[in-house]
Each structure stands twice: as structure tokens, then as C-alpha cells.
Structure 1
């Protein structure tokens, strides 16, 4: 099963974004996932990983929940 990890910068106030992405992923994939976990980070980080592979990084991509869900869909195993 697939594991999703959402690493977010707590000092930057990205918790709400992380919760929104987690909820969207859970609505879309629910029981197909082993877990969708939040990981506290810093220094402006906001990354989404699937089974350890980064599929979204805010330092390279514009934040868009729908695009993140599409990337998760394409990269699930």
C-alpha cells in the first residue's frame, strides 16, 4: 500500500495547507493508502512524498492542492 508524507514548515504557518492536502488526499484515495502523515519541518519546507519519492516541493512548484492530488494519483504504486 501507498504511504503519503506531507512535510511542512510549522514556523511558516503551513499547518493549514498540510491539513488541506492531507484531507484532499484522504478523500481521493482513502482506503487505498496505508497512511497519510504530517511531518513537522522548518526553513520554508512544504513537500509531499509518496513512498519516499518527492512528488511536490513548494521550492520548485506553485502550491495547488488539485495538482498535488493529480501527482499523487500518477505516482501511486
Structure 2
């Protein structure tokens, strides 16, 4: 079982995006995970990791934000 962590920028107003991603992850992978954590941050951060390994980082993303693609990537890490 794995832990997913979603770190988001509070001053930037990314909480709603983080909650949306959390919901999508739980809808698709709830039985495969130990936990999904929301972690408050700042400085524009929006990063998702599985067991400490980054699967999405807004600062490094080349493509547009895609929740389904993120869930698929997490699935490859945990299944």
C-alpha cells in the first residue's frame, strides 16, 4: 500500500485544485492506498508524490494540468 501527498500553495488559492485531485485519486485508487494527504505550502507549489517520489510538479510540468493523467501515473506507481 502507498501514500499519496498533494502539496499545494495556500496563498495562490490552489486548495480547490488539490481537493479535486484528492477526490479523483480516491475515486480511482482508494483500495490501493494507505492515505492521501493534503500538505499546505507556499511559493506557487503544486506537487504530487507517491511514497516520496514526485509524479507531478507544477514547476516542471510541460503539459497542461490533467487530473486523469495524474491518476493514471499514480496507478502505475501503486499497482
State the Cα deviation string for residues 19-69 of structure 1 (Å, max 9, x = none): 000000000011211000100000000000000000000111131101110
Q: TM-score, normalised by structure 2?
A: 0.92
Gaps of 5+ in 2: none
**Unpaired runs of at least 5, structure 1:** none
**What secondary structure, in the 3-state scheme, does the structure 2 residue paired with 1:8 have?**
strand
RMSD, aligned CA? 1.0
Q: Displaced runs of 4+ in structure 1, greater than 6 A?
A: none
Structure 2: how far apart are the matches of 1:49 and 1:76?
11
| Structure 1 Cα separation of the partners of residues 35 and 77 of structure 2 | 15
- How many pairs align? 77
TM-score, normalised relative to structure 1: 0.95
